[in-house]
Amino acid sequence: MAVRVILVGGFLGAGKTTLLRQAGRRLMSRGLKVAMVTNDQAADLVDTETLRREGFGVEEVSGGCFCCRFRDLADAGARLFERHAPDVLLCEPVGSCTDLAATVLRPLAHFLKDRYTIAPYTVLVDPERLAGLLEPGPHHPFSEKVRYIFSKQLEEADTIALNKSDALPAPERSALHDRLGQLFPSAQVRAFSALNGDGLDAWLDEMLSERPSARQAIHVDYDVYAEGEAELGWLNAAVRLHATEERAWKPVCLDLLRALKDAFAASGAEVAHVKLSLTAPGHALIGNLTSNRGTPFLLVQGTSEEPSRKALLILNARVHMAPAELEGAVRDVLTRASTSGLSVATERLECFSPGRPVPQHRLPLPEACTVGAENPCQILRDVFKPKRGPTQGDRP
């Protein structure tokens, strides 16, 4: 029987990995076998560790996004097929990628049609991020080119999911839901919480059903897309922590996230997503920071939080900042975290800006775009454009 592919897109920090964890558990409790593919521009990806520790079969495509590494994605799927014979394959693309319907989903459906059936393409959106971007005015934390990527991601969705609805008062949730419906009339808009699971069963029913795609062809300007991605600094590091005495690691993770947040705020650079994974005996800690205004979030995986002397830290930072500055800021924070009782040794560190996306395949939909009275593409351009003069986010 063909494997159902559920691709979950959306901007950095929107909640894709959280959704994969919850959806994986729920699908298994429905008696379905699940496997997953994660994706990053470089190795040492927190998401892969997080999902493997939950017991899922996970393959990672690294060194480029799914569209540029389509053959690696196909190979990863084949390995998972051999090992786990999954009914459902949950895939998480890089959060700065767009045009995935044409470069990933349609090629999968075309070249591997005997193996896969494709679920409606879901794009997650973080309400705080969306509200900030919809606000007119010059104070957008991200440049126009980064906002272009954000808007293109939503434009190509079959289903837009307003995630983190647990953190939203009902009137705000319904206002943002309605606004998304107006801007993207051909998408199914729903609100759910990937964290506490509210609304996920209905979404999974939709993913397993045969709703035909109402997706329209979208035009993506690859120059703007590439320049937008290149404005994001990308850092993956592996760090060994060694304490002179046994200690609990939660305070270390929280202090690190707070110090990073302060360093980025001091440079006026917006955090897209900073995440870490700390592995110590009996447990692991996953930490996240999804904006300069957010509070660091910490999740414990495992059975016992034994104090210990050694731990391994994986750090992934995606920040609106040049790579050299990002590397300097992170190294500085790590150096300052080293104290007389704790040594912090960086084992590997890669820092760069994502290169230009060059898809291995691009199979666009036919240009039979019939939209409602409003043209969502035009509205988006207006909405996501700054209304007045240059802003801090609008770098040349």
Ligand X SMILES: Nc1nc2c(ncn2[C@@H]2O[C@H](COP(=O)(O)OP(=O)(O)OP(=O)(O)O)[C@@H](O)[C@H]2O)c(=O)[nH]1
Residues near ligand X, by CB under 6 A: 10, 12-18, 47, 95, 163-164, 166-167, 193-195, 273, 275, 288, 290, 297
Q: How far is the CB of 7 from ligand X (least distance, A)?
A: 13
Q: Among residues 95 and 120, whose Cβ is nearest to ligand X?
A: 95
Q: In this chain, which of 6, 15, 17, 393 binds Mg ion, going by CB under 5 A? A: 17
The DSSP bridge partners found for residue 228 are none
Instruction: Select from 212, 210, 305 the least CA-distant residue to 251.
Output: 305
Q: How far is the CB of 363 from Mg ion (least distance, A)?
A: 26
Choose the one of Mg ion, ligand X, none that binds residue 13, judging by a C-beta under 5 to 8 angstroms depending on kind: ligand X
Q: How far is the CB of 88 from Mg ion (least distance, A)?
A: 18
* C-alpha to C-alpha distance for 175 and 295, rounded to whole angstroms: 24
Q: Among residues 166 and 172, whose Cβ is nearest to ligand X?
A: 166
Choose the one of Mg ion, ligand X, none that binds residue 140, judging by a C-beta under 5 to 8 angstroms depending on kind: none
Residue type for position 116: Y
* C-alpha to C-alpha distance for 275 and 103, rounded to whole angstroms: 27
Q: How far is the CB of 147 from ligand X (least distance, A)?
A: 16
Q: Among residues 23 and 311, whose Cβ is nearest to ligand X?
A: 23
Q: Tell me which residue has its CB nearest to Mg ion.
A: 17
Q: Among residues 14 and 344, whose Cβ is nearest to ligand X?
A: 14
47 lines the binding site for Mg ion (CB under 5 A): yes
Q: Among residues 187 and 274, whose Cβ is nearest to ligand X?
A: 274
Q: Which two tokens stand for residue 148?
A: 């272009």
Per-residue x/- track, 107-136, Mg ion (CB under 5 A): ------------------------------
Q: How far is the CB of 11 from Mg ion (least distance, A)?
A: 11
Residue type for position 194: A
193 lines the binding site for Mg ion (CB under 5 A): no
Q: Among residues 175 and 238, whose Cβ is nearest to Mg ion?
A: 238
Of the candidate spans 15-23, 131-139, 154-162, 375-383, the one that interacts with Mg ion by CB under 5 A turns out to be 15-23
Q: In this chain, which of 5, 7, 16, 45 binds Mg ion, going by CB under 5 A? A: 16
Q: How far is the CB of 92 from Mg ion (least distance, A)?
A: 6
Q: How far is the CB of 130 from Mg ion (least distance, A)?
A: 18
Give the helix, strand, coil percentages of the chain, each rounded to 5. Answer: 35, 25, 40
Q: Among residues 47 and 227, whose Cβ is nearest to Mg ion?
A: 47
* C-alpha to C-alpha distance for 233 and 322, rounded to whole angstroms: 5
Query: Which residue ranges make up the site for Mg ion (CB under 5 A)?
Result: 16-17, 47
